[in-house]
């Protein structure tokens, strides 16, 4: 593997990383309240999106690399022009914004706001006005609901229209009717602890979750059936699907204060590669000085980026041996 | 004898893995049909595009 680009540009831990659809840009959110955009090929910083007044918990970029949406501890969700770095619109809420995600057609945004001080956790779906310069947005969501029971930590739009996919603090994954807010389907035992990340397959028909229960799991988006389980020995914060190769990339680690009481291996802060079908670990890449908080795979499958508690973003480019390696022989596996 | 046993085990493992891959591929094929259906019969070309993009 080619030496990785390690980028400095955040003063505090990373919270979420996303590639744009082409894979030439990487967007990073951090607790330092700054959002950065980087060139993926060399790790050079292209620009920043400044305006939030609190930890930025989450971000997503649309498929046209036109709009960026961010959510923060300052109770705001912001819409930005990717190209100019200008903030186009600010939505304000009573509590922090923990997760945002675009729909496949870029027309809608789903967001989770935190449950706190008399406010229920809420999921809102906004219809985005893509006409004009993006500054004319409706302050009101087209729908809003409060999941009963365990609070939602992650959300996304599956391929089934009208439904919102969620992961919860209890370890549950669920499908909600976006309009009525009814829970349509749930798997209460998808995980045994907090669901920390949820990433969809390219066609949005299956998804990968990571959890503090030390496992990552692959689920059928329509039935919420668990298809595969990847069991590690450390709490997981993020999990990404490798495009074109049958691997999943897992990241996590114990907080520094706990490292001495647990095995040394947990202090290495590696990205773990597991075979998606055989549920076996195939490799590890070291890199971070603290737990990995977020992993994103390059959409063309040429590398990945990881963001750590250490404040670093690492961009990894696979070398030829990665693509040649067929640890389980020459089998065709549909993506 | 050991070698024979080993090759027997690996043959079993290879068969097991082949079964896992076959199951996965069959499920993916069903999924792709369901996704195309959801996107609408009238929009089949976009359904195909969807598959190509993967």
Output the tens digit of pLDDT for each of chain B's 54 residues: 555 666 677 889 889 999 999 999 999 999 999 999 988 754 544 444 444 444
Mutation for B interface: A331, A333, A335, most B CBs within 10 A: A331
Q: What pLDDT is recorded for position B54?
A: 41
- In angstroms, the CA B37 to CA A223 distance is 16
Confidence tier at A5 by pLDDT (50, 70, 90): low
Contact B31 A205 (CB under 8 A): yes
* Domain limits for position A90: 13-150
- Averaged pLDDT score across all residues of chain A: 93
Give the pTM. 0.91
Question: Across residues A56-66, what is the average pLDDT?
Answer: 98
- In angstroms, the CA A295 to CA A122 distance is 26
Would A274 be classed as within a structural domain?
A: no
Q: How far is B21 from chain A (nearest CA, A)?
A: 6
Domain count, chain A: 1
Size of interface A-B (CB pairs under 8 A): 47
Place of tokens 């809003």: A144
- In angstroms, the CA B2 to CA B18 distance is 24
Would A296 be classed as within a structural domain?
A: no
Contact B38 A203 (CB under 8 A): no
Nearest C-alpha in B relative to A203: B50
Q: What pLDDT is recorded for position A324?
A: 87
Q: Chain A partners of B32 at a C-beta cutoff of 8 Å?
A: 203, 205
Q: Chain A partners of B51 at a C-beta cutoff of 8 Å?
A: 203
Cβ contact A335:B50 at 8 Å: no
A67: closest CA among A156, A142, A16, A132? A132
Would A275 be classed as within a structural domain?
A: no
Q: What is the CATH number of the domain that holds A105?
A: 2.130.10.10
Contact B24 A333 (CB under 8 A): yes
Would A56 be classed as within a structural domain?
A: yes
> In this prediction, does ipTM exceed 0.85?
yes
Q: What pLDDT is recorded for position A325?
A: 84
Would A190 be classed as within a structural domain?
A: no
Percent of chain A past pLDDT 70, that is, above it, reads 94
Q: What pLDDT is recorded for position B46?
A: 47
Mutation for A interface: B35, B46, B47, B50, most A CBs within 10 A: B35
Residues in chain B: 54
Dump pLDDT digits (tens) for A179-196: 999 999 999 999 999 999
Nearest C-alpha in B relative to A159: B35
Would A225 be classed as within a structural domain?
A: no
Q: How far is A157 from chain B (nearest CA, A)?
A: 13
Cβ contact A9:A36 at 8 Å: yes
Percent of chain A past pLDDT 90, that is, above it, reads 84
From residue A86, alpha-carbon distances to A36, A184, A230, B40 in Å are 13, 38, 41, 37
Would A189 be classed as within a structural domain?
A: no
* Whether the predicted pLDDT of A261 surpasses 60: no
Question: Across residues A242-254, what is the average pLDDT?
Answer: 94
Dump pLDDT digits (tens) for A102-160: 999 999 999 999 998 889 999 999 999 999 899 999 999 999 999 989 999 999 999 99
Contact A277 B51 (CB under 8 A): no
Name which of B17, B20, B35 is nearest A203 (Cβ-Cβ).
B35
* Whether the predicted pLDDT of A258 surpasses 60: no
Question: Across residues A164-171, what is the average pLDDT?
Answer: 98
Would A332 be classed as within a structural domain?
A: no
């Amino acid at each position: 593997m080619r030496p990785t680009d390690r980028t400095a540009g955040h003063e505090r831990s990373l919270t979420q990383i996303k590639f744009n659809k082409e894979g030439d840009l990487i967007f990073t959110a951090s607790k330092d309240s700054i959002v950065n955009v980087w060139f993926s090929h060399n790790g050079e910083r292209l620009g920043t999106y400044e305006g939030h007044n609190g930890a930025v918990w989450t971000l997503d970029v649309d498929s046209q690399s036109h709009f960026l949406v961010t959510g923060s501890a300052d109770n705001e969700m912001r819409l930005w022009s990717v190209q100019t770095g200008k903030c186009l619109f600010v939505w304000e809420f009573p509590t922090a914004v923990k997760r945002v995600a675009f729909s496949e057609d870029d027309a809608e945004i789903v967001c989770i706001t935190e449950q706190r001080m008399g406010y229920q956790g809420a999921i809102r779906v906004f219809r985005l006005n893509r006409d004009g310069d993006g500054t004319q947005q409706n302050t009101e969501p087209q729908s809003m609901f409060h999941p009963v029971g365990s609070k939602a930590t992650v959300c996304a739009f599956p391929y089934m229209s009208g439904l919102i996919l969620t992961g919860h603090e209890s370890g549950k994954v669920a499908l909600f009717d976006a309009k009525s807010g009814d829970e349509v389907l749930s798997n209460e035992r998808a995980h045994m602890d907090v669901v920390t990340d949820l990433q969809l397959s390219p066609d949005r028909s299956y998804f990968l979750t990571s959890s503090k229960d030390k496992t990552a799991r692959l689920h059928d988006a329509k039935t919420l059936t668990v298809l595969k389980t990847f069991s590690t020995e450390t709490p997981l914060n993020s999990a990404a699907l490798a495009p074109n190769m049958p691997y999943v990339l897992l990241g996590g680690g114990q907080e520094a204060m706990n490292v001495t009481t647990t095995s040394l291996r947990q202090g290495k802060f590696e990205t773990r590669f597991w075979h998606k079908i055989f549920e076996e670990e195939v490799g590890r890449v070291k890199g971070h000085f603290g737990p990995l908080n977020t992993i994103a795979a390059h959409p063309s499958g040429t590398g990945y980026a990881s963001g750590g508690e250490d404040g670093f973003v690492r961009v990894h480019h696979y070398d030829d041996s990665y693509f040649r390696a067929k640890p389980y022989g020459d089998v065709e596996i549909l993506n | 004898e050991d070698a024979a046993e080993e090759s027997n085990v690996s043959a079993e493992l290879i068969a097991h893995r082949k079964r896992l891959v076959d199951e996965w591929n069959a499920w993916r094929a069903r999924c792709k049909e369901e996704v195309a259906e959801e996107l609408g019969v009238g929009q089949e070309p976009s359904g195909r595009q969807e598959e190509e993009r993967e």
